[in-house]
Structure 1
Amino acid sequence: MTKSSRSFAVVGLGAFGSTVAAELARFGNRVIGLDLDEKRVAQMSNTLSSALIVDTTDEGALREAGIDRYDVALVAVGRDIQASILTVMNLKLLGMETLWAKASNKTHHRILVKLGVDRVILPEQEMGRHIAQMLNNPVLQDYVSLGNGFSVVNVVIPQRMDGRELASLGIGTTHDLRLLGLMRGSEFRHPTDDMRLAPEDKLILLGKRAELRLFGDSL
């Protein structure tokens, strides 16, 4: 394999790792999946570019699998903290350019950060915050956190606002937010102040989470 295209290695093919690996493959990327569990590897063999049974705590086994020829690695081993740490150390030794890892708790998170992992993920906490946002205000249909308190969200326009001018929402004036675009059905539109809203329009907004919540509450 050459590095002419972006390639991914996913270590650990449990529910989290296999989902990420399958989605990366669906996007057209070259993806290798590694796990000690023969059944998990077999289940992913037709989905990924390659799926191998490998003890990733063994640097030699990782090297033999050709892992050093991949651009990005995700260590999705969560419960076995020792295996996760050893795998991360081996990937660093092999010169992995970009390394993400799943943590099972805050202590695990701190250790992975100290080892130089580029992004440490606590899936349950991140998904919990995501769900809480949507339960708290159903018009905030989806969001992506950008860090430093900023997020991008989809806000669904309710039925009662049908026909109102976009300018009446106070985006950029009353509310310190930036409107990135508007989705009407499957069509993306560049909004103008005199545009009139339709039910189920989705506004794509950038701003700080507190201001986004206030805007959602105002709808």
Structure 2
Amino acid sequence: MPSAPRSFAVIGLGTFGTTVARELARIGNEVIGIDIEERNVSAVADHISYAVIADARDEAALREAGVGDCDVALIAIGEDLEANVLATINTKMVGVETIWAKAINRTHHRILSKLGAERVILPEEEVGLHVAQVLHNPRMRNYLSMGNGFHVVNFLVPEQLGGKRLSELRLRDKFGVRSLGVMRGTDFLGTEADDPQLKVEDKLMLLGRRNDLRDFAASL
């Protein structure tokens, strides 16, 4: 069931902020985009609900833009550390309850966390980790960190597993990994309880700790 539309303020309309703003708007949310540069605002104006030239270091400017009425704010300002920090403080001051913020390094991450950002993002680091995991194992198509050391990954089923039942892999017994299901194209085939027969290039969705998932991948 799709989530109900919400209102978002995206502050900083560089590549990262613009991508987030446009995608949020595309899937049906109200999005206010804010940047100090006219060219950045103009580039996204036709794709989101409202785009405004404003300096996020100015609390009054954020109030006037309607940021305080938004459910969530994303501080996507890049290299200007001062502007990023002040935008985070001002967004909190105007009454936004949920704030996500982009950090440029670990020290910046700690500062934003102390200022009350609910989630702090290190985009280059997170993408880099993702790319490294996929490069390391070409059968891995995607992965998602679930916290507490657990990850969800999907693997393309190789030739040696083609024709086997999911139960034959004994994922829990041998690797401590749980199957969440099997995708064949756009069809969901089910979990171990349904015990589907695997075909080459099916996507096997697994939940487990990194080392256990690595052991399973090494066995293929």
- Counterpart for residue 191 of structure 2: 191
Q: Name stretches of at least 5 consecutive residues in structure 1 with no aligned partner.
A: none
SS state at 2:16 partner: helix
* Displacement after TM superposition at 1:5 (Å): 4.3
Give CA-to-partner distance per residue, 1:102-150, whole Å, 9 cap, x none. 0011111111011111001111111111001001111111011111111
Higher mean Cα deviation, 108-117 or 166-175?
A: 166-175
* TM-score, normalised relative to structure 2: 0.94
- Counterpart for residue 134 of structure 1: 134
* TM-score, normalised relative to structure 1: 0.94
Q: Name stretches of at least 5 consecutive residues in structure 2 with no aligned partner.
A: none
Higher mean Cα deviation, 71-80 or 164-173?
A: 164-173
Name the aligned partner's letter for residue 35 of structure 2: D
Task: Percent identity, please.
Answer: 53
Give CA-to-partner distance per residue, 1:13-47, whole Å, 9 cap, x none. 11111111111112211111111111111110111
* Displacement after TM superposition at 1:76 (Å): 0.5
- Counterpart for residue 124 of structure 2: 124
SS state at 1:96 partner: coil
Give CA-to-partner distance per residue, 1:34-76, whole Å, 9 cap, x none. 1111111111011111111111110000000010010001100
Q: Which runs of 4+ in 1 moved over 6 A?
A: none
On the 8 A contact 2:5/2:28 being kept in 1, the answer is no
Measured in 2, the distance between the counterparts of 1:25 and 1:218 equals 43
Measured in 2, the distance between the counterparts of 1:187 and 1:26 equals 25
* Displacement after TM superposition at 1:154 (Å): 1.1
Name the aligned partner's letter for residue 213 of structure 2: L
- Counterpart for residue 200 of structure 1: 201
Measured in 2, the distance between the counterparts of 1:215 and 1:22 equals 38
- Tell me how large the CA RMSD over aligned residues is: 1.4
